[in-house]
Amino acid sequence: MNERIVWIRNNLKSQNIQGMIISNPVNIKYLINIDAEGILLLTLKENIFITDDRYIESVKRVLTIDDEIIVTSFRDLSYEDYENYFLFCENVGFEENYVTYATYKEIMHRYKINNLVETEGIIEKQRQIKDEEEISYIRKACEITDDCFSYLLKYIKKGMTEKQIANEIENFFKEHGASGTSFPTIVASGENSSMPHAVPTDRKIQSGDVITIDMGCVYNGYCSDMTRTIFVDFAQEYMKKVYNLVLKNQMIVTSEIREGANTKTLSKIVEGNFKMNDYDLVHALGHGVGLEVHEGPILSSKNEKLLKAKMVITNEPGIYIPGEYGIRIEDTILVHENDAEVLTKSSKNYCILN
């Protein structure tokens, strides 16, 4: 049986859970490497992937006999089939963070389960710790992102629009082995940069602009995430000060990242330093990165977790002056036992384009 299925079966068993219904497609991808819509059932003895006729062929191309997964079509199942799946299970787990309330009720009804129990993000938690293969994909995604940034420094010219630059980034990703972007690319120039979640517009790059570029790609299913803020022609002294404050804090956090570091403490460091300079940290300091570009753990002062080795997280402090400008610097970082490895390696020195 595939080793991730063995892992989850053992873990459930230790909690007296005899079966599980897995609906989150990202979790299904993680466990059995399948991208199709469907539901994965771990019954007492079998692993069953129920999907649509549309996907049967492509699913069978991916799975091997060693996966020990029975593939079946929704169309071929009777009411009795559903009722029989978990007949001898005392407790059956479900994904309370993914399944809607309506689906929860439908599951209860369809499978006639005695106890449908919450599994507290068991798969999502495991996904936070990456294995060597996953790390190699994230590394590659970060490498493509760095290459793209180097390219941009030569590509970006005054008069280009934010949209044009965002498109160029997406094309670069695809032409360099990525399957696409890991989230809609942000290119925010001038006053638009004051919005942490700006959407690229037709605004043209001009002299004196700050440009915040937040981008990431997907390589073999795994994401990267990096932000750099650059200047055009010159940087105002007051902006430089803010840039330095953001960069200093970003680097302090990186130097503190290791197994056992407390996510709340890390955020508090930045919040405190910003506060002393009359600024606020208005968003989370970072988040996990993997099959999803935003996954656990969240690095924020509202959420106390200890980092573990082989987690991949972002570190992305930012300061935003409404209506004026914003500065954010972000890396994707691999947590080691004793230190942090920065996977996105693009320079964070001031960069002034001409």
- Among 351, 346, 303, which residue's Cα sits nearest to residue 327? 351
The C-alpha atoms of residue 258 and residue 141 are separated, in whole angstroms, by 22
> For a copy of itself, how many residues bind (rule: CB under 8 A)?
38
Q: Which stretch binds a copy of itself (CB under 8 A): 63-71, 129-137, 225-233, 280-288?
A: 280-288
Q: Which stretch binds a copy of itself (CB under 8 A): 96-104, 125-133, 219-227, 251-259?
A: 96-104
Show contacts with a copy of itself in window 20-39 (CB under 8 A): 35-36
Q: Does 283 bind a copy of itself (CB under 8 A)?
A: yes
Beta strands per DSSP E along 115-225: 115-118, 180-181, 186-189, 210-215, 217-219, 222-223
> To the nearest whole angstrom, how small is the minimum distance from the Cβ of residue 338 to a copy of itself?
33
> Which two three-digit tokens encode residue 349?
């020195």
Q: Does 195 bind a copy of itself (CB under 8 A)?
A: yes
Element (H, E) at 19: strand 19-22
Q: Does 278 bind a copy of itself (CB under 8 A)?
A: no
> To the nearest whole angstrom, how small is the minimum distance from the Cβ of residue 47 to a copy of itself?
22
Give the sign of the dihedral formed by CA 271, CA 276, CA 282, CA 283.
negative
Q: Are 161 and 153 in contact (CB under 8 A)?
A: no
How many other C-beta atoms can be found within 10 angstroms of the C-beta atom of residue 225?
28
Q: Does 147 bind a copy of itself (CB under 8 A)?
A: no
Q: Does 104 bind a copy of itself (CB under 8 A)?
A: yes
Residues 6+ apart with CB under 8 A from 246: 229, 317, 318, 319, 327, 328, 329
Show contacts with a copy of itself in window 110-129 (CB under 8 A): 118
Residues 6+ apart with CB under 8 A from 105: none
Q: Does 282 bind a copy of itself (CB under 8 A)?
A: yes
Q: Does 159 bind a copy of itself (CB under 8 A)?
A: no
**Choice between 118 and 337, CB closer to a copy of itself:** 118
Residues that bind a copy of itself (CB under 8 A): 35-36, 52-55, 57-58, 94, 96-102, 104-105, 118, 163, 167, 170-171, 174, 180, 184, 194-199, 280, 282-283, 320, 322-323
